[in-house]
Copies of this chain bind each other. A is one copy, B any other.
Amino acid sequence: MSTIKPQTAILLLYCPDKAGIVSAVTGFISVNKGNILYLDQHVDSVDKILFMRIEWDLTEFIIPKEKINEYFQTLYAQKYGMYFRLYFNDCKPRMALFVSGMSHCLFDILARYTANEWFVEIPLIISNHSSLQEVAKRFGIAFHVFPITPENKIEQETRQLALMHELRINFIVLARYMQIVSENFISHYPHRIINIHHSFLPAFVGAKPYHAAYERGVKLIGATSHYVTSDLDAGPIIEQDITRISHKDSVNDLIHKGQDLEKIVLSRAIEKHIERKILTYKNKTIIFG
């Protein structure tokens, strides 16, 4: 939901927990005339790791925007052994959409895009066949077909990567894209490829999860959005949800009911990513509120 906001900086970080870190970071901002708009922190009491998301108003901040990263690195990140990322709320992320034959996630994303629900740019849609070309056209978005065979996969991925590089793509959404992307491909967008899997992971990994759910006789079906890693359907989970089914539902009913889940669960994950509310650590996500 866009509302008029001042220019802000968003800092996501984690580091070994130690007394004084929150005070140090908030002090850095306050002393330099930044006004904290949001702060959430979490301590993993098993691993003794502190996670933090902090957003502050830059209007009167005395450190120039382009110097904040360097100053923070020098003054705090080194000292506390921090992993951190700094974002600015006026920098619009650029997203590539990968699809195959099913349209429900694509429509849900493009409807939000058209309604300016998200602060994001979608310069292109990539597909392994042309069936959704017409949809892309309706929304006026470039649509590129890269047919994939076992033989040409690496070559096609190289071309996809080049195209995305040229268009300065920040992250990728696999909106029911029915191809497994290679380890090399993933390595170009580590924890920046969001996939939707049509089951309640880790149940029903892999192909045909609704068929498997039907066979098992579950009473709830689910959908899971996660960052893609080289382990199939095993990357950090961002969001999950479920819906109730019954013995009356056929496999087709599961597929049908699941589509509403899939599109909502995927869109929620995209939104969290766009809003820079996600940190990944040890194959899990920390999602700030």
Residues of A with Cβ closer than 8 Å to B? Answer: 1, 3, 19-20, 22-24, 26-27, 29-31, 33-43, 45-46, 51, 103-104, 107-108, 110-112, 114-115, 117, 135, 138-139, 200-204, 216-220, 222, 236-242, 244, 246-248, 250-253, 255-256, 260, 264, 267, 283-287, 289
Contacts and interface: CB of A to CB of B under 8 A. Distances in A.
Contacts of A33: 19
Nearest to A20: B30
A204 to B, nearest CB: 8
Nearest to A38: B43
Nearest to A280: B217
A219 B29 CA distance: 32
Nearest to A251: B46
Given A19-B35, A45-B250, A201-B216, 5 more contacts: A22-B26, A23-B30, A200-B200, A244-B244, A246-B289
A289 B37 CA distance: 18
B30 A37 contact: no
Contact of A117 (B34, B218, B256, B286): B256
Contacts of A138: 138-139
B218 A201 contact: yes
Contacts of A135: 114
A219 B239 contact: yes
Nearest to A31: B23
Given A29-B23, A284-B247, A220 B203 contact: no
Given A23-B23, A27-B23, A200-B203, A220 B218 contact: no
30 contacts: A19-B34, A22-B30, A22-B36, A23-B30, A26-B26, A27-B27, A40-B40, A42-B248, A46-B250, A46-B251, A51-B247, A103-B111, A103-B114, A103-B115, A107-B115, A108-B111, A114-B135, A117-B256, A201-B218, A202-B204, A202-B216, A217-B237, A217-B283, A217-B284, A218-B237, A219-B237, A220-B241, A244-B244, A247-B285, A247-B286
A220 B202 contact: no
Contacts of A36: 19, 22-23
A180 to B, nearest CB: 20
A110 to B, nearest CB: 8
Contacts of A117: 256
A114 B27 CA distance: 45
Could you say which of A35, A202, A219, A289 has the most chain B C-beta atoms within 10 Å of its C-beta? A219
A129 to B, nearest CB: 16
